[in-house]
Amino acid sequence: MQVIEARQLVKRFGKFTAVNGVSFQVERGEFFGLLGPNGAGKTSAIRMVYGFSPITSGDMAVFGLDIRTDWRRIRSRIGVCQQDNTLDPDLTVEQNLLLFARYFEINRDLARERAEQQLEFFALTNKRNARVMELSGGLARRLQLARALISEPDLLILDEPTTGLDPQSRYQVWDRLFELKKRGLTMLLTTHYMSEAESLCDRLLIMDHGDIVTEGRPRRLITEHTAESVIEIEGPSEELRSYIREHTIRHDDLGQRMIIYTEANGKMEAEIRSRFCMEACLFRPGNLEDVFLRLTGRGLRE
């Protein structure tokens, strides 16, 4: 069963088009990642999925229900962790969970039981009486995730869950998301961390300026748009440049740095290594960041 089926989804704000006819499906148990530079339209797109923002045109079914008419029922089955911290700063950790459970009309005893489970799952038990304003960024984010799960949703939507966190907190969040994945939860997430998307997501959609740039499994995107093997050469020589032109090798010339995409252990790689890699050469596998930068460019946004 498809959990989300979006067809030609459009979001306009006045004359401005934030999402320009985007179609995608998310299957049950799938972790689906939405990537794109700032302003690409990720938040606008996912807000339509949880019925926070009405669709301008197109069609969308969530759990087989029509978002236009059934958004209330859809919403009751979705857990959301928004991009901004939406916790109540004056309440304690536990109170935030219990209050949220009330919005879902979960009875008191059940709410306590679930809050307990979530506190434990996110290692927040010893912080239960701390007020939100006293929490570090990592703790607050874990609480936001815990809160999103209090209703035991069938779909979890996370908008940049790890942005702004220190590496330890980020790994802790990833670890919890992996655990949720093992349990079969369906998730829609946006992120700027390519390693997060690469390791966590089954499928990805890359957006830019409201349009789909590409879509597919992370491994496939890497082989399709970059290569198994990448060579980075600092201060490329003119000799290297003409060699690349001659052999029509896939590359990105960044002026001070040349990024070359080749087959791993191939003849080309060996030749470049012996002829052009006297110093300052880096050999590494192609990754999702290469794909992202190749497809959305290296210019600054917003």
Could you list the residues that contact Mg ion (CB under 5 A)? 42-43
Compute the distance between CA of residue 104 and CA of residue 34 in angstroms, rounded to an integer: 27
CA nearest neighbour of 110 among 153, 149, 150: 150
158 is an interface residue for ligand ADP by CB under 6 A: no
22 binds ligand ADP (CB under 6 A): no
How many other C-beta atoms are found inside a 10 Å radius of the C-beta of residue 202?
A: 15
Kindly state the smallest distance separating residue 240's Cβ from ligand ADP, in Å. Answer: 36
36 binds ligand ADP (CB under 6 A): yes
Rule CB under 6 A: say whether 41 interacts with ligand ADP: yes
Q: Which helix (H) or strand (E) holds 143?
A: helix 137-149
Residue 51 touches ligand ADP, criterion: CB under 6 A: no
| Chain Cα centroid distance, residue 116 | 28
Helix, strand, or coil here: 267? helix
- Does position 191 interact with ligand ADP (CB under 6 A)? The reply is no
In the bound state with ligand ADP, the residue whose beta carbon lies nearer, of 26 and 40, is 40
Question: 43 or 144: whose CB is closer to Mg ion?
Answer: 43
CB-nearer residue toward ligand ADP: 2 or 53: 53
Least distance (Å) between residue 262 CB and ligand ADP? 32
Beta bridge partners of 156: 79, 187
172 vs 238: CA distance, rounded Å: 46
- The single residue listed with the structure tokens 């802790």 is 172
Q: Is 300 in the site for ligand ADP (CB under 6 A)?
A: no
User: Nearest residue by C-beta to Mg ion?
Assistant: 43
39 makes contact with ligand ADP (CB under 6 A): yes
Spatial separation of the C-alpha atoms in residues 269 and 283, rounded to whole Å? 10
Write the single-letter amino acid at 12: R
51: tokens are 């019925």
Nearer to ligand ADP, 44 or 229 (CB): 44
Interface ranges with ligand ADP (CB under 6 A): 13, 16, 18, 36, 38-44
